[in-house]
Amino acid sequence: METIIVVENLSKSYDQLQAVDNLNISIGRGEVYGLLGANGAGKSTAIECILGTKQANKGNISILSMDPKRDRKKLFEKIGVQFQETNYQDKITVKELCEVTSSLYRTTADYLKLLDQFGLSDKLKSQVNELSGGQRQRLFIVQALIPDPEVVFLDELTTGLDARARRDVWKCLAGLKENGLTILMTSHFMDEVEVLCDRINILKKGRSVFCGTVQE
């Protein structure tokens, strides 16, 4: 299996707080890999450092054989990102948001097909702030898929959703998995990673305490 993401000895600290401590990750093409841990375990910080949006104190990182810092512009044409907290203008509609996102990339997927795939085709004219929590999260997945990426990063995607909305999002992600997309996701729900992930890495206070398959 071709290795898509390599993280070696990644560390990030804030004053006396060690947010991420010598994290090592290797993810193959088509694999769904989960960073699991309680709030404050270092999952989101790790994702930001891997993407190069936050400066790590040390570590070597490669995504699609590119350096997230040095090859930033080229890399971001090939990956999709959904962050834990995503803020949009209050009055922007679903269609407007998709068009704005599409304008940022040279090559894009058809957002109308993506909206249909994720059950949002009837929400084109709706304002984003009018959507339910589950609909917003599905829309955020669509935003991450608009660049037609090889790798997608998803951060705490189902936090705050009820059981039905979570299952709807899981169904969408399972479809992406079947299509062979490489996914790095964070979660603090064990049932979620059991359903979706091929392998997991459990973080506690920034350190990896387990790495392996869900069955292990």
Q: What confidence tens digit (pLDDT) does each residue in 28-70 have?
A: 999 999 999 998 999 999 999 999 999 999 999 999 999 999 9
* The pLDDT value given to residue 168: 86
In the predicted model, is pLDDT for residue 142 greater than 80?
yes
In the predicted model, is pLDDT for residue 84 greater than 70?
no
Question: What are the percentages of helix, strand and coil residues in the chain, rounded to 5?
Answer: 35, 30, 35
Report pTM: 0.92
In whole angstroms, what is the distance from residue 97 CA to residue 85 CA? 16
- At 1, list the tokens: 């299996």
* The pLDDT value given to residue 37: 94
Q: Are 4 and 63 in contact (CB under 8 A)?
A: yes
* The pLDDT value given to residue 180: 87
How close are the terminal C-alpha atoms of the chain, in Å? Answer: 20
Give the count of domains, the chain. Answer: 1
Distances (CA, A) of 51 to 6, 77, 89, 121, 167: 12, 13, 24, 30, 27
In whole angstroms, what is the distance from residue 107 CA to residue 94 CA? 20
Secondary element (H or E) of residue 186: strand 182-187
Percent of the chain with pLDDT over 70: 97
Taking CA 152 as the corner, what is the angle to CA 70 and CA 94, rounded to the nearest 5 degrees?
110
Helix crossing, 133-145 with 94-103: angle to 10°? Answer: 20
Kindly indicate the confidence band of residue 133, based on its pLDDT and cuts at 50, 70 and 90: confident
The enclosing domain of 112 has a CATH number of: 3.40.50.300
